[in-house]
Structure formats: C-alpha cells, structure tokens
A and B are shown apart, each in its own frame.
Chain A
Amino acid sequence: MAKPGGRLCRRWPLGEGKPPVFCIRIAGLPIGLNNRYAYVRHLCRDYLTPEKPLFVVRASDEDLRREARASAGRPRPALCESICLYRRLCYRLPAYDAFLMHAAVISMDGAAYVFCAPSGTGKTTHIGLWQQQFGSRAQVINGDKPVFRFIDGVLYACGTPWNGKERLGCNTQCPVAAVCFLEQGPENQIRPLAPQEVTRRIFHQILLPPFQPTFDRFWKLLDRMLQTVPFYLLQCNREPEAALLAYHTMRRSKTC
C-alpha cells in the first residue's frame, strides 16, 4: 500500500475558501467526505462519484487526537484522518439499512461468502486459499472492513476503500450467502452455529453507533441478519481443502 507521505500528506491551508468535500458511492449511497489531508481522497479513488452526497462527514480535532493516541508508533495524521472519516461515516449508515462489520468477504458466481475472526486468526490466508483454488472465479470484495446493506430484503456485502493493509477488494456489491467464523485447528471441520453461539462471536466484529436512535436501528439490522443469514464455524488449517470445505458447505445453504 502507498503509505501516506509527501504529497498525500498535504494539508489544505486554513482560511482559504471552503474546505474541500468530495463524494464517494458506497453500498449505493453517495457520501461526502470533508478532508484536511489529500491521502483519503487518493484512498477513495475507485469510489469517487459526481453525485450530490446524502450527508457529509468530517473528522474533528478531538477525533484525530483520540485516533493518534490509540495508534502505535509515530503519529500519522493523514492515516488517522482516513480512519476517523470511515468511523464517522459508518456511524451514519444504519439510517440507510447499512452497517459496518469487520470481515473478509469473497464472492463466487454472484454470491458473497463472509469470514469473521479476530485479527491475526487467518482470514486473509483463508481467502487466499479460495483464490488459489478457484482462480478468477473468486473475487475479494473487501479484505477487512466491508459495509453490509439490506436492499429489497436481501443482505448485500459491499466493497469500500477501507479494505485492509493488503488492499484486497473491489467496488462491487453481492448478496450474502452465509457468514463463517474462523478458528485455527489441526483438522478442517465446519458446522452450523446456534444463535447464542453467533451472538458472543459477532459482538467483537461490529461497530456500535454511539447515538442511541442510530444504535437502535443498527440493532434491528443485526437481529435481521441473524434471522436471515446462515452462520457457520470453520476450524481450519492452511491446507487448500479448507477453502473447498467452506465453499461447498456454505453454498448449499444460500437463499440467494
């Protein structure tokens, strides 16, 4: 990934006319970003749209300070701003039947297969196995932070510019076939998850809107996803068979 530096860390001079806003289209929603650093516009280059935004987000000084404190290593203001903008954007999504979930999503033949796991468990490795097995039939939608949206009663997984340090993903939307939690294990095994088993796992992968009315809308979407989408647990090693097992099991359950 091109790290923010030099030209892309350029700050817009204060007091010189209106601050810039550019518009991106994510999950069918045109959204304005009011940025101080050029980096985020470069990050969003595949999602730019000339449309008028439904709403505009910006990162406050306090947002940036908090993010800088939370990040390890030397401060990277342009990167912090892009993270803060995405967070602010995602807080607004439930009003449009959409929400963020930390996951890696890969599509095959028009269906999206969603993989959730704590960071470092092997989501990226696993979807790499899918790419190995299925070649160009498999397309990564987003390797890290996709947006999900209910459109006409169907849950779609959507590409966004924020797709992880490997920059895996593309600007597309695909109906979700199933969601699978990943755990490392010596043998490849997959089983459906009971609702209580899903709740405790999914909690760590979602972003809770801080404002209660939006949170209530988000909660309804989460409940709807749990009612309508099949959930699985895959224990897997790094062998190619893991991808085949996941695909053949999850595709049998798809309702799309």
Chain B
Amino acid sequence: MLKTKPGFLLRRLGDESMVIAIGAASDQFNGMIRLNDTGAFYWEMLTQGATPDQLVAATLDKFDGVDEAAARQDVLEFLDSVGFALDDDTANH
C-alpha cells in the first residue's frame, strides 16, 4: 500500500493544486509539484493509503468512458511522478 509521507501537503492556491514539502520533508524536496484535478484526486486517496489497484478502480468509477488499460497507465505515470513523496509498505513477494 502506498501512502503520502508526512510533511508532504496538498494545497490549493487560486485555481491550482500543488504538493509542497514542509519541515523535515523539505530537506528532501525543496519545490512544489503542480497537480491537475485527477492528480489531486489520487493524492487525496493516498493520504489515507491506497494500492495502485484501488486507484485504478476509483478512476473507472469516477470517470465515464475510460478503459482499464488507460486508467492503469495514468495511475502508474502519476505514481512515478510523485513516488519520492510516498511511503510504500508493500511486502516484497
């Protein structure tokens, strides 16, 4: 399961969503990541903890006319872009 690391916060400024690191987390990351609405949606789920499968399922649920392969691709690309801000407690199989 993937979960957002402490100190990495999703915030809105005007119309934009972004992830910012504060405190100890800012030693690791000193910038901001702009997210679109879908990215913000994934991030909110990840603050509680979610697996990639759960993110894909939520995507299919939320958006009409998206096929699973495309949803999976989007999810994996997103996770790649914010990977450094996530903790992964998935056991190695």
Q: Does A210 contact B (CB under 8 A)?
A: yes
A208 touches B13 (CB 8 A): no
Known: A199-B13, A203-B32, A223-B13. A212 touches B18 (CB 8 A): no
Report the count of interface residues on B (CB-CB < 8 A). 16
Q: Does B65 contact A (CB under 8 A)?
A: no
- A203 and B22 CA atoms in complex are apart in Å by 13
Residues of A contacting B: mostly = helix
A199 touches B16 (CB 8 A): yes
Contacts of A200 in B (CB 8 A): 34
Contacts of A222 in B (CB 8 A): 13
Closest to A222 in B: B13
> How many A-B residue contacts, CB cutoff 8 Å?
40
A215 touches B15 (CB 8 A): no
Q: Does A159 contact B (CB under 8 A)?
A: no
Cβ of B36 to closest chain A Cβ, rounded Å: 12
Enumerate the 10 nearest inter-chain pairs by beta-carbon distance, A residue then B residue, closest first.
A210-B23, A195-B14, A215-B22, A199-B13, A208-B22, A203-B32, A210-B22, A199-B16, A219-B11, A226-B14
Contacts of B79 in A (CB 8 A): none
Contacts of B14 in A (CB 8 A): 195-196, 198-199, 223, 226-227
Closest to B25 in A: A210
Q: Which of B16, B18, B20, B34 contacts A208 (CB 8 A)?
A: B20
Contacts of B13 in A (CB 8 A): 195, 199, 219, 222-223, 226
- A211 and B24 CA atoms in complex are apart in Å by 10
Cβ of A48 to closest chain B Cβ, rounded Å: 32
Contacts of B24 in A (CB 8 A): 210
Cβ of B53 to closest chain A Cβ, rounded Å: 30
Contacts of B51 in A (CB 8 A): none
17 sampled A-B residue pairs with Cβ under 8 A: A195-B14, A195-B15, A196-B14, A196-B15, A196-B16, A199-B16, A199-B18, A199-B34, A203-B31, A208-B22, A210-B22, A210-B23, A210-B26, A215-B22, A219-B13, A222-B13, A223-B13
Cβ of A63 to closest chain B Cβ, rounded Å: 14
- A215 and B26 CA atoms in complex are apart in Å by 13
Known: A203-B31, A203-B32, A215-B9. A208 touches B15 (CB 8 A): no
Q: Does A209 contact B (CB under 8 A)?
A: yes
Which residues of B20-64 are within 8 A (CB) of A?
20, 22-24, 26, 31-32, 34
Q: Which of B16, B18, B34 contacts A195 (CB 8 A)?
A: B16
Given contacts A198-B14, A203-B31, A210-B26, 6 further A-B contacts (CB under 8 A): A195-B15, A208-B20, A210-B23, A211-B22, A212-B23, A227-B14
